[in-house]
């Protein structure tokens, strides 16, 4: 790759000076992101998962039970498990979660080369699968947590039964499954939107590159007129 400093057609000196300052900040941000990722990788072993949760999945078009330990695909010792806000009382799933999962479905075959990926929701499995088919999701492993306490135990559900979009990572060790990481920024005092999984979400990363940014009121919808 060329190391020559780029100059775009007809840009002004003022633009280039400001862009060069921004470039420094972008390089610093990338370095900081990499430092945080390294710090995350150095986390000690998390708490053991004492219950091998029984989820309801679907195989061959028929419901079937699957345990948390069975969500780890063969040869993979790491599992990314996302809590999808689609409870049994919800008329429709969360549009924000849906937007995120639209993207994750496309990336799942790539991510799946290194780790296992699954999505849990508290609705019956048939309802989850039906919605997924309507979205064209083909790559996400979907399970229902309706009959277990996973959502509540790992902060995808509160005491009132409200659903929350928690992301968790689990690792399989010789002594069993352990929790590794959770998107705890969701519950942190950030004095604004938590944006706890924004770095995983193409929508916001692309909009952040534009003059208008994310906008003050834009949120993804299940459909657009």
Q: What is the pLDDT of residue 1?
A: 57
- The whole domain housing 33 covers 14-43
Residues 32, 85 within the same domain: no
Q: pLDDT per residue over 117-152, tens digit each?
A: 999 999 999 999 999 999 999 999 999 999 999 999
Q: How far is CA 48 from CA 52, 61, 84, 171, 172, in A?
A: 10, 33, 23, 10, 10
Q: What is the pLDDT of residue 3?
A: 66
Number of domains in the chain: 2
Q: What is the pLDDT of residue 61?
A: 82
Could you tell me the pLDDT band of residue 189, with boundaries at 50, 70 and 90? confident
Does 37 fall in a domain?
yes
Residues 71, 128 within the same domain: yes
Does 224 fall in a domain?
no
Q: pLDDT per residue over 49-104, tens digit each?
A: 999 999 999 888 888 999 999 999 999 999 999 999 999 999 999 999 999 999 99
Residues 120, 75 within the same domain: yes
Does 195 fall in a domain?
no
Residues 198 and 192: their CA atoms lie apart, in Å, by 14
Residues 173 and 78: their CA atoms lie apart, in Å, by 9
DSSP per residue over 55-118, as a string? EEEEETTEEEEEEGGGGSPTT--EEEEEE----TT-SS--HHHHHHHHHHHHHHHHHTTTSEEE
Local structure of residue 19 (DSSP, 8 states): H
End-to-end C-alpha distance for the chain, whole angstroms: 43
Residues 37, 72 within the same domain: no
CATH number at 129 reads 3.40.30.10
Could you tell me the pLDDT band of residue 2, with boundaries at 50, 70 and 90? low
Residues 131, 20 within the same domain: no
């Amino acid at each position: 790759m060329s190391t020559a400093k780029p100059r775009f057609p007809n840009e002004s000196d003022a633009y280039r000076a400001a862009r060069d300052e921004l470039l420094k900040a972008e390089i610093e941000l990338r370095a900081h992101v990499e430092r945080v990722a390294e710090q995350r990788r150095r986390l000690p072993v998390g708490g053991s998962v004492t219950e091998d949760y029984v989820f309801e999945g679907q195989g061959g078009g028929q419901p079937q039970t699957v345990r948390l330990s069975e969500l780890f695909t063969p040869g993979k010792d790491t599992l990314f498990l996302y809590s999808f806000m689609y409870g049994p009382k919800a008329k429709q799933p969360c549009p924000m979660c849906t937007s995120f999962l639209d993207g994750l479905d496309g990336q799942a075959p790539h991510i799946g080369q290194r780790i296992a990926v699954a999505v849990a929701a508290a609705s019956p499995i048939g309802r989850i699968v039906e919605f997924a088919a309507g979205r064209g999701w083909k790559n996400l492993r979907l399970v229902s947590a309706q009959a277990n306490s996973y959502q509540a135990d790992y902060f995808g559900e509160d005491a009132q039964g409200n659903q929350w979009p928690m992301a968790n990572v689990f690792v399989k060790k010789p002594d069993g499954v352990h929790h590794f990481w959770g998107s705890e920024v969701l519950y942190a005092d950030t004095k604004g939107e938590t944006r706890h999984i924004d770095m995983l979400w193409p929508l916001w990363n692309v909009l952040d590159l534009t003059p208008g940014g994310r906008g003050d009121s834009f949120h993804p919808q299940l459909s657009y007129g």
